[in-house]
Amino acid sequence: MSILKRIAYFVGLPLLLIIMWWALTLGEPNFYVPTPAQLITTFWEVWAGERFATDFLPSIIRLFIGLIATITLGIVLGILIGSFRWLRSLTEPLLEFFRAIPPPVLVPLFILLIGINDQMMIFVIISGSIWPVLLNTVEGVRAVDEVLSDTSRTYGIHGFSRVRHLVLPAASPQIMTGVRQSLSIGLILMVISEMFGASSGIGYTIVLFQRGFAIPEMWSGIAVLGLIGIALSLISKAIEARVLRWYHGVKEVQRDS
Amino acid sequence: MSTPMLSIKNLKKTYQVGDGEIEAVHNITLDIAEGELICIVGPSGAGKTTLLKCIAGLLAPTAGSIELAGAPVTGPPKAMAVVFQEYSRSLFPWMTVRANVELPLKNAGVSKAERDTLVDDALEAVELEHMPQSYPWQLSGGMQQRVAIARAVAYRPKVLLMDEPFAAVDAQTRADLEDLVRDIWHKLGVTILFITHDIDESVYLAQRVIMLSNSPTVVQDDLTIDLPDQRDQLTTRSSKRFVELRTHVYEQIQIAKASKPTGVTAIQKTSKR
């Protein structure tokens, strides 16, 4: 597909929905639903101004730190748990237990234990979004091809070298699947932790606007979240295109034959 | 008599399956001298791959011993390289051809300059010097197996094990690769243990053909191939002696297939309790 065509596909449906929204809000103004023009002006006023530094950036920094920690921790623990059967047996019941706890209920607990601060919110993000990366890494490590593993052994590739040259790349397709899921969970938890206990951030701002009946402003906050979501997905796709180039190549060859 | 390069004594391997066990290798004793090219041929299911994995140190034998140049094999020995049948699963798909060949050397701490020479020579030996930057999955099956052979050659092993390496490539490629193996063997003087189910291939390649019996596996026969050292696909395969030798191997394999294992059943189910 040419670049132009891809852009057309990318913006086509959103554009159509905005036009419909515009047409539906043409008549009597509705207090709870702003028009597209209203939203765009409000969006600009709110998020390009002071709130960019006081609320947008803190949220992004928390999200960024939370996700980097999640991915690093998830991959490291996943490789360890996936590599050793005894560790897997030992941790399995515990992992099942913690995985089943809906992360938002940890917010009040973390507020008590850590206090209302950035660390608390970062912990909430990690505690909820680590599971997809962790569990997918474990599965990816366990599924390393037997012949490839034998080959590495015969050439004396052990320990760190084995992780770097065999385990990590072999598990990377599954790890990326986990990372993609973790990104969206991380975003959700960032907002939830900010709604509960924060004095800054996008989640805090949205609640503040809603309570003050600043309806277009509230909508603009929701739009910011959607845009962050798109940005995260574009970043992860770009990383995946680099890291998994070989994987997509193999898949293509298998499809052709 | 000098120590053999590879010495297998009373090798036995059983697998635990549930609370019974399956005997893959019953009792194999075999000596291979330095620089020999040996083919092991046997009916399918004769435990050929199990035998190879034991020799390679990938599986621990249930009983018996394996020695490489006098030293017991307890894990994959440094002086050994293995070429597996499943070439598409034995090359690292995330590495280029060159990186695949280079990795074992890098891992062994060989210097960059020496590595470059070894890799270049190995790729040249398998006639792949023109595509070092390709990825394995971009190549045909035969070419992928050449990469695996180049990797083994660059590693400079004393013993090269090959487990039905050409079973999954087409006939023409197979003939080329067979000549390649003999060529490399001549050039490097490496000891080669080549496992195959193809009788013609075993006779064409080897100095000595070891025939395995049906499971439970023992050595059925040990045949010296007295064909001239310079072989080529056309004249060697049509020579009278070649036909005699392959007939002999064929007969032995037929006997091996037909013989119902005596005393023990192929799959031994013995309760632990």
Could you please report the per-residue DSSP string of B171-228?
Answer: HHHHHHHHHHHHHHHHHH--EEEEEES-HHHHHHH-SEEEEEPSSSEEEEEEEE--S-
CA distances from B183 to A14, B178, B179, B192, B207 (A): 64, 9, 6, 12, 14
Asked whether the predicted pLDDT for residue A10 surpasses 50, the reply is: yes
| Predicted pLDDT of residue A158 | 92
Q: Which residues on adjacent β-strands are paired with residue B81?
A: B160
Tens digits of per-residue pLDDT, B3-61? 889 999 999 998 888 888 888 888 899 999 999 999 999 887 778 889 999 999 999 99
Alpha helices in chain A (DSSP H): 3-24, 36-47, 50-51, 57-83, 85-100, 106-114, 118-142, 146-154, 159-162, 168-196, 202-211, 215-243, 245-256
B43-52, B63-72, B75-84: least confident range = B43-52
**One domain for residues B217 and B180:** yes
Higher pLDDT, A237 or B269: A237
Is residue B151 domain-shared with residue B166, that is, in the same domain? Answer: no
Of A227 and B19, more confident: A227
**pLDDT per residue over A144-176, tens digit each?**
999 999 999 999 999 999 999 999 999 999 999
Rounded to a whole number, what is the distance in Å from the CA of A249 to chain B's nearest CA? Answer: 7
Task: Report A:144-183 residues touching B (Cβ under 8 A).
Answer: 145-148, 150-151, 153-157, 161, 165-166, 169, 172
Whole-number pLDDT of residue B153: 93
The CA angle A169-A174-A180, to the nearest 5 degrees, is: 115
Q: From the list A155, A172, A247, which residue is nearest B155 (CB)?
A: A155
Of the pLDDT bands very low, low, confident and very high (cuts 50, 70, 90), residue A26 is confident
What is the C-alpha separation between A167 and A158, in angstroms, rounded? 11
Q: How far apart are CA A103 and CA A124, in angstroms?
A: 7
Residue A163 backbone zone (phi > 0: left; psi -120 to 50: alpha; other: beta): alpha
**Do residues B186 and B271 share a domain?**
yes
pLDDT at A53: 86
Q: Are residues B229 and B176 in the same domain?
A: yes
- In this prediction, residues B190-208 reach a mean pLDDT of 93
Q: Which residue, chain included where needed, has tokens 């008549």?
A: A27
Q: Is the pLDDT of residue B261 over 70?
A: no
pLDDT-wise least confident of A211-220, B105-114, B248-257? B248-257
**What is the model's pLDDT at position A31?**
84
A108 prior amide bond cis, ω within 30: no
Number of domains in chain B: 2
**CATH number of B18's domain:** 3.40.50.300
Q: Is B76 on the interface with A (CB under 8 A)?
A: yes
Topology, domain A61-198+224-252:
MetI-like fold (1.10.3720)
Q: In terms of residue numbers, what domain contains B213?
A: 1-79+157-273
Q: Which of B156, B188, B217 lies at the terminal end of a domain, its last residue?
A: B156
Interface residue B156 vs chain A (CB under 8 A): no
**What letter represents residue B239's amino acid?**
S
pLDDT at A215 over 70: yes
What's this model's pTM, rounded to 2 decimal places?
A: 0.86
Q: Are residues B222 and B260 in the same domain?
A: yes
Residues B142 and B128 in one domain: yes
Examine the domain organization and report whether B51 and B180 are in the same domain. Answer: yes
Tokens 């959607």 correspond to A226
Q: Which of B127, B133, B130 minimizes the C-alpha distance to B145?
A: B127
pLDDT of residue B260: 54
Q: Which two tokens stand for residue A239?
A: 């990383």
Identity of the residue numbered B180: L
Confidence of residue B161 (pLDDT cuts 50, 70, 90): very high
The answer to whether B90 contacts A154, with C-beta atoms less than 8 Å apart, is no
Note the pLDDT tens digit of each residue in B122-155: 999 898 988 888 999 999 989 999 999 999 999 9
Find the mean pLDDT for residues A195-212: 89
Residue B271 has pLDDT above 50, yes or no: no
| CB distance B6 to B31 below 8 Å | yes
Phi and psi at B160, nearest 5°, equal -115, 120
pLDDT at A217 over 70: yes
With 70 as the cut, is the pLDDT of residue B225 above it?
Answer: yes
> Nearest-CA neighbor of A189 among A53, A77, A58, A66?
A66
Nearest CA in chain B to A254: B137
* B84: chain A residues, CB-CB within 8 Å: 147, 150-151
Confidence label for B268 from pLDDT (cuts 50, 70 and 90): very low
Interchain CB distance below 8 Å, B81 and A154: yes
Q: Is the Cβ of B72 closer than 8 Å to some Cβ of chain A?
A: no
Residue A148 and residue B107: Cβ atoms within 8 Å?
Answer: no
Write down the domain spans for chain A: 61-198+224-252
State whether B126 and B219 are in the same domain. Answer: no
B194 φ/ψ angles, rounded to the nearest 5 degrees: -115, 120
Residue B21 shares a structural domain with residue B91: no
Residue in A with minimal Cα distance to B157: A155
Residues B162 and B146 in one domain: no
> How many residues belong to chain B?
273
Could you tell me the end-to-end alpha-carbon distance of chain B, in angstroms, rounded to an integer? 46
Q: What percent of chain B has pLDDT over 70?
A: 94
Same domain, B60 and B168: yes
The pLDDT tens digits of the residues spanning A82-120 come to: 999 999 999 999 998 988 899 888 888 999 999 888 999
Q: Does the pLDDT of residue B215 top 80, yes or no?
A: no
pLDDT at A64: 96
H/E/C letters for each residue in B47-105? CHHHHHHHHCCCCCCCEEEEEECCEECCCCCCCEEEECCCHHHHCCCCCCHHHHHHHHH
Provide the shortest C-alpha distance from residue A183 to chain B (in Å): 25
More confident residue, B2 or B157: B157
Domain boundary residue, one of B156, B174, B204: B156
B266 and B164, same structural domain?
yes
Say what the pLDDT of residue B62 is. 92
For residue B1, what pLDDT is reported?
53
